[in-house]
Amino acid sequence: MIAGARQRIAEVAAVAPRAYWYVWWGTLINRLGGFVVPLLTIYLIGRGVTVSEAGGVVSVYGAGSIAASLVGGYLADRFGRKRTLLLSLFGGAIAMIGLGLVHELPAITVMVGAVGFVSELYRPAVAAIVADVVPPAHRVQAYALLHWVINIGFAVAVIIGGLLASIDFTILFIGDAATMAIYGVIVWVAVPETRPAVLANTEERPSRSWVTDGAFVAFVVIVFGMALMPFQSSAPLAAHMTWQAFSPAAFGAVMSINGILIIVLQPSVSAWAARREPTRVLVAAALFYGVGFAIHGFAASIAIHALAVMVWTMGEILESGTRAALVAAMAPPDARGRYQGALSMTFGAAQLVGPKLGTWVWERQGPGVLWGGCLALGVVVALALIATAPRRNRRIVEGLRIA
């Protein structure tokens, strides 16, 4: 595993400048300290908040992140990647400290929204930096390595955060803010502005809006449909396995397979995917998602649930780098931030809608409808990707001419 990861990193290192790697290391540091959001529900319940109220507060974070995707993309194109990163990282650190200092539920809710908005502004800027500095042929691997390191950081942060929370939750807020600030210092000192010169040297408004790009809008809608599937692994799958009399520990063990497989397989599988036609890779990802979640529907043992996670995790590994690279290819140079922001928005929206929709279907229509519906959705997404491929490919050719 280590040798394979080193080889893939070396392949990207051969073509990616230092700016990419500073962002890569900054992302790792930031995610290693991402303690608060994964444990936010536990923190709120510990303060006497009901489960339903805690869920509502956490959803405010999701709403903030959706708005951040659009605003962050605009800022990255209009005012630059570096400025957007600095605003998000230093501003997010301040907001995180503020969240740790408030104690009443209304104030906590407001601050959770502020943290979700400010601290997530950086995502479109990071994605735009990758498109700015990495050659097209290597973008799938470059984006995949970012996804890989995010998962490594998340896995470590949850473990460390759980241990620190047993001592004092205040430590989590301070640590989370500190890692954001450290990332901000890295950007301030070492990351140059990568926005294309055509934008950097003009005061004119960026020329293209992604809303008017029909091929891209269609892709965003399709990606939203795809993104609904992995979010069934949270509340819906937890409810389903609890109904089957599995313990929380069993659910946690099954879900840990997702992170382990991403850490082990992401670099190698992404290198394979980078050599394939993007639509075919995404079609395979959609089918892996659909089949994987359908398996949960008839799983009666931990082993079958584990197999299901293995199957749909392959979908996540395949699509994570490919979709971002495809958007980078479709986006004009002066709109990379906004296009990546729109892509990020689809996942924020799916995170907000998916778990609630899934639990509603599971409860009202039955488990079979939910898991069978995932299979049907996977097939529909795959067919939609195939049907829209010609128009999407034409947009990529147009983008190459502009670039």
Banded pLDDT at 160 (limits 50, 70, 90)? confident
**What are the DSSP E strand ranges found in 276-401?**
none
Q: What's the pLDDT at 287?
A: 97
Q: What's the pLDDT at 200?
A: 47
Identity at 273, one-letter amino acid code: A
Looking at residue 206, the DSSP 8-state letter turns out to be P
Whether residue 133 is predicted with pLDDT greater than 80 in this model: the reply is yes
Q: What's the pLDDT at 55?
A: 72
Q: Which domains does the chain show, CATH number per domain?
A: 16-195 (1.20.1250.20), 210-403 (1.20.1250.20)
* Gap between the Cα atoms of 185 and 182, Å rounded: 5
SS3 letters across the chain: CHHHHHHHHHHHHCCCCHHHHHHHHHHHHHHHCCCCHHHHHHHHHHCCCCHHHHHHHHHHHHHHHHHHHHHHHHHHHHCCHHHHHHHHHHHHHHHHHHHHHCCCHHHHHHHHHHHHHHCCCHHHHHHHHHHHHCCHHHHHHHHHHHHHHHHHHHHHHHHHHHHHHCCCHHHHHHHHHHHHHHHHHHHHHHCCCCCCHHHHCCCCCCCCCHHHCHHHHHHHHHHHHHHHCHHHHCHHHHHHHHHCCCCHHHHHHHHHHHHHHHHHHHHHHHHHHHCCCHHHHHHHHHHHHHHHHHHHHHCCCHHHHHHHHHHHHHHHHHHHHHHHHHHHHHCCHHHHHHHHHHHHHHHHHHHHHHHHHHHHHHHHCCHHHHHHHHHHHHHHHHHHHHHHHHHHHHHHHHHHHHC
Q: 193 near 88, Cβ under 8 Å?
A: no
| pLDDT tens digit sequence for 241-270 | 888 888 877 887 888 888 889 988 988 888
Whether residue 223 is predicted with pLDDT greater than 70 in this model: the reply is yes
Banded pLDDT at 166 (limits 50, 70, 90)? confident
Looking at residue 299, the DSSP 8-state letter turns out to be -
Q: 295 near 304, Cβ under 8 Å?
A: yes
| pLDDT tens digit sequence for 299-355 | 999 999 999 999 999 999 999 889 999 998 888 888 899 999 999 999 888 888 888
Grouping H, G, I as helix, E, B as strand and the rest as coil, residue 402 is helix
* Gap between the Cα atoms of 70 and 338, Å rounded: 7
The answer to which of 25-39, 119-133, 189-203 has the lowest mean pLDDT is 189-203
379-383, Cβ contacts within 8 angstroms, sequence gap of 24 or more: 379/286, 379/287, 379/290, 380/225, 381/222, 381/225, 381/226, 381/286, 381/289, 381/290, 382/283, 382/286, 382/287, 382/290
Q: What's the pLDDT at 247?
A: 84
Q: What's the pLDDT at 277?
A: 92
Prediction pTM value? 0.85
Tokens (6 digits) for 238: 């937890």
CA dist 289 → 225, 308, 399 (Å): 11, 9, 30
| pLDDT tens digit sequence for 84-131 | 999 999 999 999 999 999 988 999 999 999 999 999 999 999 999 999
Mean pLDDT calculated for residue range 346-373: 88
* Gap between the Cα atoms of 112 and 98, Å rounded: 9
Identity at 306, one-letter amino acid code: A
Whether residue 44 is predicted with pLDDT greater than 50 in this model: the reply is yes
* Gap between the Cα atoms of 379 and 294, Å rounded: 12
Whether residue 202 is predicted with pLDDT greater than 80 in this model: the reply is no
Q: Is the dihedral of CA 57, 62, 64, 65 positive or negative?
A: positive
248-274 and 139-165 are packed helices; what angle lies between their axes, rounded to 10 degrees?
Answer: 160
Mean pLDDT calculated for residue range 282-301: 95
* Gap between the Cα atoms of 293 and 314, Å rounded: 12
Q: What's the pLDDT at 10?
A: 74
pLDDT > 90: percent of the chain: 49
Mean pLDDT, rounded, of the chain: 87
Mean pLDDT calculated for residue range 267-275: 87
Grouping H, G, I as helix, E, B as strand and the rest as coil, residue 96 is helix
